[in-house]
Amino acid sequence: MSTELPLIGDYSTPTAELSGARIGVVTFPGTLDDRDAARAVRAAGAQAVSLWHADTDLQDVDAVVIPGGFSYGDYLRAGAISRFAPMMDKIIDAANSDAKLPVLGICNGFQILTESHLLPGSMIKNDHLKFICRDQVLRVENDQTAWTNGYTAGQEITIVLKNQDGQYVADEKTLDMLEAEGRVAFSYVGWNPNGSRRSIAGISNAAGNVVGLMPHPEHAIEAGFGPDARGTDGLTFFTSVLTHLVGGKK
């Protein structure tokens, strides 16, 4: 088994359906976690396809991950400049099309998705004003989305949280709507680490193909390198989307 493979299972011979899945990972100037995201995609058994922000070719990918980092140095507002990248125009169109391209935004990727209006609300500076980096327990609130169908609603998972502008805000009407429609995908458990409204850690769009969250599932895919003893709770994001792509949606 090569070191590229996770220690929790041998994914070196994925099933025929999965080995054909191509998952794009977008890189902007200042993106940090594209390599980890691509590695998580491969660990789940799919092919990672590098997408450059200034290109306009989606390269026939079946899903897209917008990874974390500090694109454009968080200048203006986190995600505000990246949102207007040529590649984002393509992703926004594909996510809203009948094909409903699955899109996952992690941390800065989540911020880019809210700036793109693919997801409602916005992120502002953490209420305590400090950068935070910790193992964070989340509760899976919605196990029906393209990126969460491998979890069970109510399940608690531990993945890494690391950000400066992580306080999720939206008006009361939007928050009520998100809760009523089951579009809160993840909530913080035990402690609200950044002052997010209603302890929201991640949300989805109405169709469930677009999911954004502040914590980082791609840093919790391999035993020994993630949080706590196992540290592999994040891998299910990347296997869920494969299940979704082969039509195994719940």
Partner 1 sequence: MPRIVVDVMLKPEILDPQGKAIAGALPRLGFNSFEAVRQGKRFELTVDGEVTEQILAQAREAAETLLSNPVIEDVVNVEVVAD
Positions annotated as catalytic residues are: 107, 216, 218
Q: Within a 10 A sphere around the Cβ of 139, how many other Cβ atoms?
A: 18
- Buried-state track 171-180, b at ≥16 Cβ within 10 A, e below 16: eeeebeebee
Structure-token match 């989340």, residue found: 138
Cβ proximity of 115 and 156 under 8 Å: no
Nearer to partner 1, 93 or 171 (CB): 171
| 121 to 18, 174, 193, 246: CA distances (angstroms) | 34, 8, 18, 31
Q: How far is the CB of 125 from partner 1 (least distance, A)?
A: 5
* Interface residue list for partner 1 (CB under 8 A): 76-77, 80-81, 84, 114-115, 120-122, 124-129, 167, 169-171, 195
Q: How far is the CB of 72 from partner 1 (least distance, A)?
A: 12
Cβ proximity of 44 and 246 under 8 Å: no
Nearer to partner 1, 4 or 179 (CB): 179
C-alpha 47/C-alpha 38 separation (Å) is 8
How many CA atoms, within 13 angstroms, populate the side-chain half-sphere of residue 82? 31
CA distance from start to end of the chain: 32
Q: How far is the CB of 115 from partner 1 (least distance, A)?
A: 7
Q: Within a 10 A sphere around the Cβ of 183, how many other Cβ atoms?
A: 22
**Residue 140, SS3 per DSSP:** strand
